[in-house]
């Protein structure tokens, strides 16, 4: 089978590998659509594992079910989670599923940028979801990133009427925008360095979209009348994190949704935040319940994710896809199709 192997953001090669063999309790999935995530081009993080087959936003069809598999069968259209929790450890039992060691060590074989992948027994048990009728493979690609956004906003305690500032209007920032709008948020303001992404934010429901170089705290107060109840940082730029500290309302929350480069520290005005009950909250990944909610939000049309697809490429064009995402120009969601004839 063909796979796209990551060596660096500028070096992605199409290579041949054997189709994985499955064992008892496992599945073999034919990958139909696979999205390139912003984290896939986070080079400082990815290159230490290179060469590697990446890809974790996949939708496909089961072609073989191993002995003992009862809930799934050949022909089922599925989304498959790459990281899944154990549901029994200290962290899972207190609801911190993404801190689970099992979640950080599970994956499928070899990765989503391949024609086929093997789903291990544990992932089959709690990380495979049959796509409802009417949910396309393209839409299925968004289940994992939307699930991460759902988890973040749930932990942050977003309520109807809350004002929201989203710093960074890439794919994750726009998903946060669309979900916050669907959940009844009040005024939503976004920022970015890209004029194209600011335009997309307005088209997808932002009340205002500001250039990141502006005096964002002042502009926010002029637009909103006050700081934001929830500030979501969707870019690793330290300047955005500094803006967040100056844009959050008393009693509000800063949701740290994107990592900075390694070794970056953020000075926090502890006394001011203590006095005003401001929370700084990180959010990483998602758990199976978040994926289930994401599927329903997509199925119902409440989050019309397909509006963010800008590029559809064959697997052999993976290098181009990685370049488009890394350059962060006009690309929002880039989807690779290992089997182009079946991409719908």
Domains by residue range for the chain, with CATH: 2-130+304-342 (3.90.180.10), 148-282 (3.40.50.720)
Give the pLDDT of residue 342.
Answer: 67
Give the pLDDT of residue 344.
Answer: 54
Structure-derived torsion over alpha carbons of residues 53, 174, 101, 155, reported in degrees to the nearest 10: -170
Q: Please give the Cα distance from 248 to 236 (Å, whole number).
A: 18
Note the pLDDT tens digit of each residue in 29-60.
Answer: 999 999 999 999 999 889 999 999 999 999 99
Give this prediction's pTM: 0.96
Asked whether the beta carbons of 237 and 259 are under 8 A apart, the reply is no
What integer is the mean pLDDT of 57-66? 98
What integer is the mean pLDDT of 1-10? 97
Q: Which residue has the tokens 């041949």?
A: 16
What integer is the mean pLDDT of 225-250? 97
Residue 209 has pLDDT above 70, yes or no: yes
Residue 340 has pLDDT above 90, yes or no: no
Give the pLDDT of residue 67.
Answer: 97
Residue 285 has pLDDT above 70, yes or no: yes
Q: Please give the Cα distance from 9 to 29 (Å, whole number).
A: 26
Q: What distances in angstroms separate CA 214 from CA 115, 147, 169, 219, 253, one per listed residue? A: 45, 31, 15, 8, 22
Mean pLDDT, the chain, whole residue set: 96
Question: What band does 136 get if pLDDT is binned at 50, 70 and 90?
Answer: very high
Give the pLDDT of residue 327.
Answer: 93
Give the pLDDT of residue 329.
Answer: 87
Q: Please give the Cα distance from 203 to 191 (Å, whole number).
A: 14
Give the pLDDT of residue 51.
Answer: 97
What integer is the mean pLDDT of 85-96? 96
What integer is the mean pLDDT of 77-102? 96
Q: What distances in angstroms separate CA 194 from CA 209, 232, 331, one per listed residue? A: 11, 18, 11
Please give the structure tokens belonging to residue 244: 């967040």
Q: Taken in order 218, 221, 226, 231, is the CA torsion positive or negative?
A: negative
What integer is the mean pLDDT of 178-205? 97
């Amino acid at each position: 089978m063909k796979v796209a192997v990551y060596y660096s953001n500028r070096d992605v090669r199409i290579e041949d590998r054997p189709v994985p063999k499955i064992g008892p309790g496992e599945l073999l999935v034919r990958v139909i659509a696979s999205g390139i995530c912003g984290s896939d081009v986070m080079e400082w993080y990815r290159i230490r594992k290179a060469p590697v087959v990446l890809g974790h936003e996949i939708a496909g069809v089961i072609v073989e079910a191993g002995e003992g598999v009862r809930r799934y069968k050949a022909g089922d259209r599925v989304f498959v989670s790459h990281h899944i929790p154990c549901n029994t450890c200290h962290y899972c039992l207190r609801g911190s599923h993404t801190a689970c060691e099992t979640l950080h060590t599970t994956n499928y074989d070899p990765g989503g940028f391949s024609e086929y992948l093997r789903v291990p027994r544990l992932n089959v048990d709690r990380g495979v979801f049959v796509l409802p009728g009417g949910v396309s493979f393209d839409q299925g690609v968004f289940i994992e990133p939307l699930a991460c956004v759902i988890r973040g906003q749930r932990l942050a305690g977003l309520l109807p009427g809350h004002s929201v500032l989203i710093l960074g209007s890439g794919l994750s920032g726009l998903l946060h925008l669309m979900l916050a709008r669907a959940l009844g948020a009040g005024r939503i303001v976004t920022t970015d360095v890209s004029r194209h992404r600011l335009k997309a934010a307005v088209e997808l429901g932002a009340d205002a979209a500001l250039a990141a170089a502006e005096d964002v705290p002042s502009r926010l107060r002029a637009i909103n009348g006050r700081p934001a109840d929830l500030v979501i940082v969707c870019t690793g730029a330290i300047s955005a994190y500094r803006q967040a500290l100056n844009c959050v309302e008393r009693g509000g929350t800063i949701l740290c949704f994107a990592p900075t480069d390694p070794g970056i520290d953020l000075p926090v005005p502890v006394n001011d935040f203590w006095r005003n009950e401001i929370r700084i909250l990180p959010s990483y990944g998602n758990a199976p319940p978040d994926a289930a909610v994401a599927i329903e939000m997509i199925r119902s049309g409440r989050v019309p994710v397909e509006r963010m697809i800008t590029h559809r490429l064959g697997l052999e064009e993976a290098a181009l896809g990685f370049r488009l995402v890394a350059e962060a120009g006009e690309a929002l969601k880039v989807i690779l199709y290992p089997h182009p004839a079946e991409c719908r």
